[in-house]
Amino acid sequence: MIDPFRFLIHLMKYGRHLSFCGRLRRIVTVEWVRPYIKAANRILEVGAGDGQTTCFLARRFQNKDFVVCEKNEKQLEKLSGRMQKKRLRNVRVVKGSLAECEELGLFDFLFAVDVLEHIEDDYAALVQMKALLKSGDNLFLHVPACGVDVFDDPDHVRPGYEQEGLSALLAKAGFEIKRMEYTFGRRGVDYHHSRIHLSKFRRAMVHLLDLADDAKVKSSIGVVATKAGL
């Protein structure tokens, strides 16, 4: 569970993006990956979209080397523009998929946010991710859970994941799970896809209530997994 007070600080200071979904995913991702970024030197984001998460991290960890890979042309244009605007010198943009990253060597940390549900052969993708990590290094995944209609997307090749099935898939690909939790709650489902322009205070209250909701809707799954030794 994310600490509510740290979450509030993140939301009030950094939650400025107009897309509710993008903002919430970024805050959740940053909260999960921050300790692993601190311990890593080379970080890869797979399916980076418009690059807002890596851009946020790269500005705050300027002594780290980041690589982002994305194959969607429109997203690549936004991503490249964002990196140029922020004048980030510690980020390399790779056009394509995981295969294009193999020649870049090994990474200390890898993360993919709402990517796996778009990939037909998710097992093969996880095996590729594992090959880009050294033994003992970590992977962060964020995926939709099954049965939440708000996440329906024509680009998804599956409706989502159950924790048990995702655990089995990661184990088969050669990962050991360190942490797995549902991330968004009932109010998150109601609001994080909304375009309603709420004040920062009201947004913070919505998501703090979400975190405290005992009847938590199983809407998305976050997982940190370690590459198992040979």
Domains of the chain (ranges, CATH numbers): 18-185+216-227 (3.40.50.150)
- Sequence-distant (≥ 6) Cβ neighbours of residue 163 within 8 angstroms: 145, 180, 182, 221
Write down the pLDDT at residue 206: 57
Q: What is the pTM of this model?
A: 0.77
100-129: string of b/e by CB count within 10 Å (b at 16+)? ebeeeeebbbbbbbbbbbbbeebeebbebb
User: Could you read off the pLDDT tens digit of each residue along the chain, which spans 230 residues?
Assistant: 455 665 555 455 444 433 445 566 777 788 889 899 999 999 999 988 878 888 889 888 999 999 998 888 888 888 787 777 778 889 898 888 888 888 899 999 999 998 999 899 999 999 999 999 988 999 999 998 886 654 556 678 788 899 999 999 999 999 999 999 887 654 444 444 444 445 566 556 655 655 555 444 567 889 999 998 75
Secondary structure of the chain as H, E, C letters: CCCHHHHHHHHHHHCCCCCHHHHHHHHHHHHHHHHHHHHCCEEEEECCCCCHHHHHHHHHCCCCEEEEEECCHHHHHHHHHHHHHHCCCCEEEEECCHHHHHHHCCEEEEEEECCHHHCCCHHHHHHHHHHCEEEEEEEEEEEEECCCHHHCCCCCCCCCECHHHHHHHHHHHCEEEEEEEECCCHHHHHHCCCCCCCCHHHHHHHHHHHHHCCCCCCCEEEEEEEECCC
Write down the pLDDT at residue 183: 78
Write down the pLDDT at residue 27: 73
Q: How far apart are CA 124 and CA 169, in angstroms?
A: 10
